[in-house]
Amino acid sequence: MHVHDIPTVERTEKIKQEYKQTLQNDKTDIKMIKRLKIVRSIIVNIGVIGITVLSISQGADPNIVGVLSLMIISAYNGLELQDFRALQKAYKEVQEENEEKE
């Protein structure tokens, strides 16, 4: 089964479970995960924008390149947002489980 075959809710649940497992087992700092996600997102967005500007400066059709770059950035940031929300839910569940144990 490919990732694009999994419905959004199931994909989010799967990602949440993976984050939950990581947070429980590795005692990973959530601040570090958030920072890494933000840095990765910034790098990808700057890369797409850079390629777009370079393409337009080299004579590419600005309408086509502009629309494609907006679609790519929107799709990527939508996936990042979904992933970030799954991380937040996993962190909240881990915190609640830890409070119940105490």
What pLDDT shows up at residue 1?
A: 45
How far from 18 is each of 22, 42, 56, CA to CA, in Å? 6, 23, 40
pLDDT tens, the chain, 102 aa long: 455 555 577 778 888 888 888 887 877 788 888 899 999 999 999 999 999 999 999 999 999 999 999 999 999 999 999 899 998 998 898 888 888 876
Amino acid at 57: S
Neighbours of 19 (CB within 10 A): 22
Neighbours of 16 (CB within 10 A): 20
CA distance 67 to 26: 41
What predicted TM-score, i.e. pTM, was given to this entire model? 0.77
CA distance 86 to 84: 5
